[in-house]
Each structure stands twice: as structure tokens, then as C-alpha cells.
Structure 1
């Protein structure tokens, strides 16, 4: 009997993340240190692999289910790094808390390297399922957040599974490389239905409209460290899943269908997210609703696939979407982590941000940099380059979508700039502290680094190399 060869080196980051989860569960009072050290090692292994040749494993003929290339390993390191940040700002918690965080990070690391529908969906659920427990802090509000997230997630997962089943029926394979070839001659109605259901279900993880309503409620009622994880790592998982399916499996065979579906989701998300953010009076509410709009900006380049011609155009769209997602989650992580450092238990009303620059200068500086970046303005150039990456592609393929993105970004100034102004100018700040200084400074340094050297992000997210 022929046995399947396994490249254990390609799986090293996943092995280390899974081992970290087991260690955290039994480490007792040292669970936090074990989780942070183990995930840091996992991220370091991913960076090491990224500088080496591409590795692929779990082969069926010429197709592989797991790949360790530059983009995958860069994303794996990002998943691990965000989880270390969340662990650092979580304070003293039970060992089960860090066990669940590490399990979720393992799902994200596996997702980054997935190259078939089964691996992708299982990895995405591994990323998501631990969050059902983590969002449900004690009390009625926490229970409502957990149940809401559970029901919405199960509905979206069922939708995505149905879409994957239809695509399997149409193409006869679950491997992305096989589907990209076999869907060309498949029944167009079956491909269209499968594409719409799969992408619609996966868009839930990004909190994209119309499956967006869970995000504001859950983010406001979850503990702030977990809100940080949901707004960054969880959304990165959704973005990676959508980009992987579109780039590796659907295009160019189903590019037109995918483009129509994603264009509709992108426009709806930008409109709903901006309108919702404009009427918010609480800080987390603004960040949660604006995150829905940013999901639309992530999907907008993929929404132009109906205008793309050939594989090169599709690769540029996928690169732009993934680059925006990376910039976006870094800025979201910076905003929520610094808010956690200053407020710890509750983001509070926008008016409560007054005086924080005097009371907590380090954390408030990172918060302002992140918020200005989310607005797409200098000197926080990470957000500026994120918008440029998207608009550069849209300007040559779908000008109308570029206009929608620009209009949404302009509306965003109406709620991002008051956040920054309140922190810097208004009085108050009673009870604010600069907690978790090293963690906040680390994410602040990351934001400065990608602002000064955006090409590093653009290179590892490029599919045209």
C-alpha cells in the first residue's frame, strides 16, 4: 500500500500552535506566558519558512491540500502575532482562556495554508468556534453576545457548506487547483448557485452585509481583548478565505459570477457600515460599524472580477484585496488594543475619550494613529497605502466601484476625525491608565513600520510574482 508523504517542515507553525494550546491548558498560572511564548515561536517558524522555497504537502496526484508559500507563511505569522498581542492585553485569566485563544490561532494558521474546500472550512471553523465561549463574558449581555454569535455563525457556515457541496458537484473535486480547471465546462447554474452561497457564507466572517448585524452587538458586549481579536484576526480569516476561494478555485472560470456577488456585497457593506457608524455615540460602536464598511473595501477589488481579463487581472484584484485586509487588521488591532489599555473593561461613549492624551499618552497616541489610518489620512500612511492598493486596481477595471470606495472613505472622515479630536483636545480622562505598555507600543511600532515600508506588505500579498 502506498503511503502519503508528509512535509513536516511545512506544518511546523501549525504543530507549534497546536502544542501551545495543549501547554496552555495544563500550565495553570503560567498559561499566559506559555501561550505567548509558543505562539511567538509559531510565528517565527512561519517567517523562517517564508524565506525558504515553497513547500506543499498532502498531495492527491498533482494537487495539494496544504501549501507553505510566502503569502501563507506571512499570514500565519500575522495570525500568531495578533494572538500574542491579545494574550498580552488580556490580564490575568484562567488557563482555559489562553487554550481557546491558541486553538483559534491554530485555525487561522491552518487557514492561511489551505488549498482545498474541506481544509479551508474546517480551519475557518477552528478559528471561529472557540470565540463562541470567549465572547460570552459573565452576565446577561455576555450571554446574548455569545448566543447571537453562535446562531449567526452556524447559519453562515451552513450556507458556505452548501455552496461548497454544489461546487464539488459541479467540478468533481474539492481541491482549488482542480476546480479552477474543471468548473469551465460545468453546469453554469450549479456553479453560480454554489459560488453565491459559498462567498455569501464566508463573507459573514468579515462582517460584510447582509450578514453583518452580529458584529456591532458582539463587539460591544464582548470583553475588549476578545473584541480586539474579533476585529482583527477573525476578520483576517474571513478575508483570507474569500481571497483564497476566488483566486485559487473560482477564477477565471467563475470570475464573472464571483464579481457580481462580491460587488453587491461590497457596495452594501460600504453603505450600511458608513450609515451605521455615523449615528453611533459609543467608541466600540463606531469601530464595529466602520469595520463593516472596511469589509466592503476589502471585497471591492474582487467585485471588479467581472471586468477582469485573464489570470493577470484576477491576480491583481486578489493582491489588492489581501493587501487591504492586512493593513486594515493591523489598524483595527492597534485601535482596539490601545482602547483596551486605556479603558480595559468598556470602550465607553465617544465623549469619555476626552483628556486621554494627557492621562494615557502612549496608548492614546497609538489609538490616534490607528484611527487616522482607518480614515486613510497621513501621517498614518498604512491606511493611505491600503486605499491606494484598492483604488489602483479599481481605476483600471471598475471606475464606478472606485467612486463608491472614495465616497465611503470621505463619509468615514465624519466619524473618524471626531474620535481623534476628542482624544487630543477635549478634557477629562479620569481613571484612564497606560496599561500593557509593551504590547501597545509593539502594535504601534508595527503600524509605523508598515507606514514607512508598505512595500513589505504589498510584496508578500502579491500573487503576480
Structure 2
């Protein structure tokens, strides 16, 4: 018989999101278009409720015969992912309303994508992992192409789907090899099985498939195109909630299923990290579209996070949680800033069109400057402490070349980050921006406050929480 108490403790947030999603389908069928505007509040409350449940069942548990297992490490990631996902959903309503695409299906797709995030974070078995990845991926493909009248959005969805299907196939083939040579799909069983050539081949294919999901180089090609072509609120969601969840899942799989053969995968992850940092930083230098620039910035930041994974569980797990939390908050705020910049001709996406923002909207320019300085890793803003933790983890693990690449790519990134600041503060003013939705304003200011002030004051508390959460991996 099922132990319902253990099941609720282990996957309470996912059960909540599944129920909210199915209820939303029913409400949409009954209320039809009357549910469109209400659905965004409904979805945000569902995601914030899931975040609260992640804290309520923070110590985690195990259910379904070991198919799912949660601990403080994954519940930390769940809380952050669901919370930023709720904010991403709140700030989407105004954009979709202006483009006549405000439909409750958008909210339901976001909820089911978030359900997929929770499933992969809870996974302790290859079957559960793959089901969660496909739940997240299928919803994401549709979200990327949600603006049906936009050729760019349709192209983004098609590219994401084709490349995502290829990556899913590689992940599934790798998982089948791992099962074939270990005799089990359970992470704990895989970890205790004898190493073999076939098992290592399967592990490498799984790394390739998971690297696509986190947009790490050289499996990064889809990222700038999808970020540019997808509706801006969708880009904000992709850059925040699924990024946090996927990155922590990558680490969880490597630490839990393949932790005993770290010497076999550390160099592979280190190479991927180095390539991501270099390609992301140098690729962004030539970009003129702010969304494409943020796409390349995402690739570089995934590289920084992978330094913590390559450092291993003992040194890198806590550093990864700190870095990703600080990154996704800043990334969400920057995409909200892009949403805030709108003129009569439509959305402003060219970097050069930000000229004179300081004179026309000083509060927005200051908030975006704080977020840019944070994501660039400049002290004393929050992002600096995230990079510092990752850098220290790399040094402690003896990954000096990777730490040097981290520093060099961070310096290179200042070239495109400071260019945006210079244009906002010192270039001639452009045409006046239109009014901003209140939810977007709130998200920009809240993200800037958190990244620039709150984390600066409470960085020690965040570090303690993250490192305490990382110890849950040992349980």
C-alpha cells in the first residue's frame, strides 16, 4: 500500500501543482475567455503555494519505492525555482494583453512546466528523471512558440523542439546504457554498481543530454535564438526558474548517481564549463539585441555554475546553490527591465535604443545598473559573492585552470555589461518610453533591491542556508 504521508512529504509541491494545473484546465473549459485575466493570479498563487510547500516539507523524504527522493538540497532549489517562476508569471500578463495573446493556456503551460521542474528535482531514478524532463520540455516548446502571429516566435519554438528532441534522444540512449550495464535505474543502485566502459559511455551521453537542458557549450546553439525569438516573458521564465532547477538536477545526478566515479567525469564537466564561459563571454561582445546578449550571458553563467559541479559535492554543492540563486534573481530582473522598455513601435530590444534612459527614467536606469553590476559579479553586489563562492570551490578542488578562465571571462564580460550602462547613462535620449505595467515595475525594483541590497546584508545567512542545504545530499 502507498504511504500517503511519505508521498506528500516527498512530492507535496508537485501534487499541488498537478492539482492546480488540472483544476485550471477544468476552469478554462467552463469559464472560457472569462478565465484569461484571472488565470495569471491563479497561476502565480499556485506557484507561490508550491514554494511554501517546499519549505514546509524542507527536510524531504522518499516515496514510490525510491523513484522519488527529496532532501534539503533539492528543496532549496524548488523554493527558489517556484518563487521566481511565480514572479515571471505575474509580469507576463501585460505583455500578452498588449499582443492579444492573453490566454489561460499560457498559465497552464507554465504550471505544467513547473511541475516538470519539481519532478526532475525530486527524481531518484532515471525513469522519473526522464518523465520530468519531458514534462518540462514539451511545455517549454509550446511556450517558446506561444506568439503564433510572430515568425520569430514560431522559429524559436521549432528550433527548440528539434534540438531538444535530439538532446532527449541522447539522454534516453545514455540512460538505457547506464541501465544495461548497472542493472538498475535507481541513482543509489547506479552509484554502487561496478564501473565499466559501457556505463561510462552511458554517463557521457547523459551529460550531453543534460548539458543541452542547461544550455552549456557546445550544446548551447539554441539559446540565443530562443531567447530572442520567444516572447519576452517566456525568455524571463526560461532564464530563471527552469535554469535553477536544471542546473541543480545536473549536479544532483552527477553527485548522487555518479559520485563514486567523479574522476571519470570531472574533466568532461570542466571542459564544458570552460567552453561555456569562453563562448558565452566572447559571443556576447558582438551582440546588438539585448535578449540575444542575455542568452549568451546565460551560457557564460552556466559555465561559472559548472565550475562548482566540477569541484565536487563537498566543495561545490553549497557554492552552486548560492551562485544560482543570485543569478536567477538578477536575470529575472533584467528581463523585466526589457519588458519595461516599450515605445509606440513596439518592444525595445536594440541596445542602442536605451540611450538617455537615465534622464527619462532614472529609477529604471539605476535598478538595471544594479542588476547588471550584480550579474557581472562586481562588488559589493550580490552576484560578486556568488562568483566568489564558485571561484573558491574551484580553487579548493585544485581546478586552477578553470578558476583562471572564470576570472578572464568575467573581465571580458565587463565589455558588454558596461556598454549597456554607458548607453543608458551617457548617450543621447531616444524617443520617450510608454508607461510600464505595475507588475513589471515591482519585479525590476524588487530584483534590484534583492540583488543589490538584501543579499549584501544577508549574504552570510544565505551562505549558511545554502551550505546547510547541501549537506542534505549526504543523507
Do both proteins adopt the same fold according to a TM-score greater than 0.5, normalized to the shorter chain? Answer: yes
Q: 1-side partners of 2:464 and 2:20: how far apart?
A: 30
| Structure 1 residues 165 and 240: CA distance shift in structure 2, 3 A | same
Alignment of structure 1 residues 123-272 onto 2, 5 Å: 123-136=132-145, 137=147, 138-182=149-193, 185-187=194-196, 189-252=197-260, 254-272=261-279
Contact 1:180–1:248 (Cα < 8 Å) also in 2: yes
Q: Quote the residue 2:113 is aligned against.
A: 104
Contact 2:211–2:219 (Cα < 8 Å) also in 1: yes
Q: Quote the residue 1:310 is aligned against.
A: none
Contact 1:338–1:364 (Cα < 8 Å) also in 2: no
Task: Please state how far the C-alpha of 1:304 moved relative to its aligned partner.
Answer: 4.3
Q: Quote the residue 1:37 is aligned against.
A: 45
Q: Quote the residue 1:446 is aligned against.
A: 450
Partner of 1:294: helix, strand, or coil? helix
Contact 2:376–2:410 (Cα < 8 Å) also in 1: yes
Alignment of structure 1 residues 24-423 onto 2, 5 Å: 24-25=24-25, 26-27=27-28, 28-29=35-36, 30-50=38-58, 53-59=59-65, 64-91=66-93, 92=97, 93-136=102-145, 137=147, 138-182=149-193, 185-187=194-196, 189-252=197-260, 254-304=261-311, 314-343=313-342, 346-380=347-381, 382-396=382-396, 397-423=398-424
Q: 1-side partners of 2:308 and 2:188: how far apart?
A: 22
| Structure 1 residues 425 and 24: CA distance shift in structure 2, 3 A | farther
Contact 2:341–2:347 (Cα < 8 Å) also in 1: no
Task: Please state how far the C-alpha of 1:337 moved relative to its aligned partner.
Answer: 1.6
Task: Please state how far the C-alpha of 1:368 moved relative to its aligned partner.
Answer: 1.7
Q: Quote the residue 1:309 is aligned against.
A: none
Partner of 2:184: helix, strand, or coil? coil
Q: Quote the residue 2:32 is aligned against.
A: none
Contact 2:47–2:83 (Cα < 8 Å) also in 1: yes
Partner of 1:453: helix, strand, or coil? helix
After the TM superposition, list the runs of 4 or more consecutive aligned residues in structure 1 that deviate by more than 6 angstroms.
none
| Structure 1 residues 365 and 255: CA distance shift in structure 2, 3 A | same
Pairwise CA RMSD of aligned residues? 2.0
Q: Quote the residue 1:22 is aligned against.
A: 22
Contact 1:23–1:35 (Cα < 8 Å) also in 2: no
Contact 2:117–2:246 (Cα < 8 Å) also in 1: no
| Structure 1 residues 461 and 177: CA distance shift in structure 2, 3 A | farther
Task: Please state how far the C-alpha of 1:265 moved relative to its aligned partner.
Answer: 0.8
Q: Quote the residue 1:311 is aligned against.
A: none
Q: 1-side partners of 2:348 and 2:303: how far apart?
A: 24
**Stretch moving more, 111-120 or 95-104:** 111-120
Q: 2-side partners of 1:267 and 1:208: how far apart?
A: 10
Contact 1:282–1:347 (Cα < 8 Å) also in 2: no
Contact 2:285–2:416 (Cα < 8 Å) also in 1: yes
Task: Please state how far the C-alpha of 1:432 moved relative to its aligned partner.
Answer: 4.5
- TM-score, structure 2 normalization: 0.88
Give deviations 1:38-81, integer Å, cap 9, x for gaps: 2211111212222xx4322222xxxx232332222222122211
Q: 2-side partners of 1:266 and 1:424: how far apart?
A: 33
Q: 1-side partners of 2:293 and 2:262: how far apart?
A: 34
Contact 2:333–2:443 (Cα < 8 Å) also in 1: no
Q: Which runs of 5+ in 1 are unaligned?
A: 306-313
Q: 1-side partners of 2:404 and 2:321: how far apart?
A: 20
Q: 2-side partners of 1:365 and 1:118: how far apart?
A: 47
Partner of 1:10: helix, strand, or coil? helix
Contact 2:281–2:409 (Cα < 8 Å) also in 1: yes
Contact 1:83–1:102 (Cα < 8 Å) also in 2: no
Q: Which runs of 5+ in 2 are unaligned?
A: 29-34
Task: Please state how far the C-alpha of 1:17 moved relative to its aligned partner.
Answer: 1.4
- TM-score, structure 1 normalization: 0.90
Task: Please state how far the C-alpha of 1:431 moved relative to its aligned partner.
Answer: 1.7
| Structure 1 residues 81 and 224: CA distance shift in structure 2, 3 A | same
Q: 2-side partners of 1:37 and 1:408: how far apart?
A: 39
- 1:458 paired with 2:457, answer no
